[in-house]
Chain A
Amino acid sequence: MKKINTNNALEIDIGGLKLANPVMTASGTFGYTQECRELISVSELGAVITKSITLQPSPGNRPPRLWETTAGLLNAIGIQNEGLDDFVHSKLPLLKSAGTRIVASIAGVCRQDYEALAKALDATDVDAIEVNISCPNIEHKSPTTLFAQDPYTTSCIIRSVKKQTDKPVIAKLSPNVTDIGLIARAAEKAGADAVSMINTLIGMDVDIARGKPRLGNITGGLSGPAIKPVALAMVWQAYHRVKIPIIGIGGIMSTEDAIAFFLCGASAVQIGTANFVDPAAASNIIRGLRLYLKNRGMKNIRELIGQLKV
């Protein structure tokens, strides 16, 4: 277990997940750390959220899987991964040697999948579980396209996961809803220790010369700076509806972007697409936040949370 420096102005507790700083790398954007270790010091990060793990190996969607849009990125990767057993036996030992907190992201097509994943991961030394109920690129056995589009299914899955583990449980929410506050509330009532928001926005682009979609899966999830205003608004909306910590995600490229999320009510942030543009993005944001607090005489990042003047 990594020792937390009590004098650290950036340390934060996210529903029992104690972090040296509130900057994590978002699921699916940082691999299992080994890909990035030659480029950055992974131990500096508050936490690494793994690429989502499914019960069985998952091949992912047909290519093309990526398409760049104006200040954004559409992806339809479809959670390609080697499955739970491979994660536990080969990925996790490597992850744990990275010297930071490891949050396992889990995804499934039905409630039973999430239960089995949570049960298996409870027996490992991952530090928390992020429940991905909002990936727009896989099909679920659910009346709605995504579990996170319905408060009832959100509640069912989070409740089931909570029964299987004592580790902090984070519900990852979708922006593709009419009222994210309602869904955040459902997650909280079901026992979620925190919510992370937002996952990608469903989007698509078209090659008009060929009259075909740009992505093999037709639609994908939009991320990057283009979605930051949506994410900020949703964090702000949820902040007034739940008491559990909110982890802000969506187009965070710089320290300034991260600060905006804290002001809107986020207790931590996840960096996603920015990792592709600059593998050092998260490290730079951590340094930037430390400097920001120092320059303003703030003792802890908590002083910033929800302090938006309206």
Chain B
Amino acid sequence: MQKLQTKAEILINKEIAPGHFKMALCIEGFAGKARPGQFLHIRAGAGYEPLLRRPISVHRISDRQDIVELLYKVNGKGTQLMSRRSKGTFLDVIGPLGNGFKVPKGQSNFVLIAGGMGVAPLVALADRLATYRKKAITVIIGAKDAASVVCVKEFQEIGAKVIVVTEDGSRGDRGLATAMLEKIIGDFDIRKASLRAGPRSVSDVTIGDYAPEVGLYACGPMGMLASVAKIVKPYKIKTQGSFEERMGCGVGACFGCAIKTQRGYERVCKEGPVFDLADIVWD
């Protein structure tokens, strides 16, 4: 798949929640190129402050049109500059980069868990999953407070069941998305599996044995991904997580965005940003 470095026209750049922006870009020749989970490497300004590009995951992609949507939160100088760019101006972008989410054959029950801005790439994934027949998509969105909950409508329109969890309880259940995941896993399969399993102990039961159709995907802060990995480990659920790390080149040349895996340090930009959570070494 050919990568592009090009000027992308900004079609939309609007604040959809405090500090959260949605940007639509028109990139000539982009149609059909990106997969959910991949990212664009964007030069936010023209000067040396900030110096480096910013990796922003693709939020919604069109297979037929040269349009890609991004969802980003203003965190620093780069995203601040991006937020000030107006419609009709052009951004220097490289992409699509990295490896996206994989959907193994035979899966039709999908659980997506997002922490904060982790929703961004999961909408693209849900879009893709929704094209599969006989699918069921459950999305857990975890956020700090009600103001930080975004994309509920997008997931619902796709046909997903959305569960919102906020740390302060201002919207949905109070607590962490990971606690909700534990509950769902319990409800979803273990009880069912235990009933079927008869005398076997729960620890012997894997969703893989009884529900090979389950696909679990996670995106959010490192702490959340570590918790997800811990939760799913006893059940041997194969889980893909999308990771973030500070990047230099974005194409695999500099080895700056390393993450520790069972195979040694790998590049978030090249081998990732999506990794099997079981492959990650959590320090």
Contacts and interface: CB of A to CB of B under 8 A. Distances in A.
Contact of A29 (B48, B51, B245, B254): B254
Interface string A37-65: 01100000000000100000001101111
Contacts of A253: 48
A87 interface: no
B161 to A, nearest CB: 36
Interface stretch (A156-164, A192-200, A272-280): A272-280
Interface stretch (A71-79, A117-125, A144-152, A172-180): A71-79
Interface of B: 2-3, 5, 43, 48-53, 92, 94, 245-260, 264-265, 270, 283
A159 to B, nearest CB: 31
Contacts of B251: 31, 35-36, 39, 279
Interface in A49-106: 51, 59-60, 62-68, 70-73, 75, 77, 80
A31 B49 contact: no
Contact of A60 (B48, B50, B245, B265): B265
Contacts of B53: 276-277
B255 A65 contact: yes
Contacts, number: 102
A64 B260 CA distance: 11
A75 B254 contact: yes
A59 B3 CA distance: 28
Interface string A15-44: 000000000000011110001101100000
Contact of A68 (B51, B265, B270): B51
A301 B256 CA distance: 34
B243 to A, nearest CB: 11
Contact of B249 (A59, A62, A224, A276): A276
- Most-contacted residue by chain B among A36, A38, A276 (CB, 10 A): A276
Contacts of A73: 51-52, 248
Given A66-B248, A67-B246, A80-B265, A277 B52 contact: yes
Contact of B5 (A62, A65, A279): A279
A25 to B, nearest CB: 9
Contacts of B254: 28-29, 31, 66, 75, 77, 276
B78 to A, nearest CB: 9
A203 interface: no
Contacts of B253: 29-31, 35-36, 275
Given A39-B3, A276-B248, A66 B256 contact: yes
Interface in A230-281: 253, 273, 275-280
A253 B52 CA distance: 12
B221 to A, nearest CB: 14
A65 B258 contact: yes
B94 A66 contact: no
B249 A63 contact: no
A36 B260 CA distance: 24
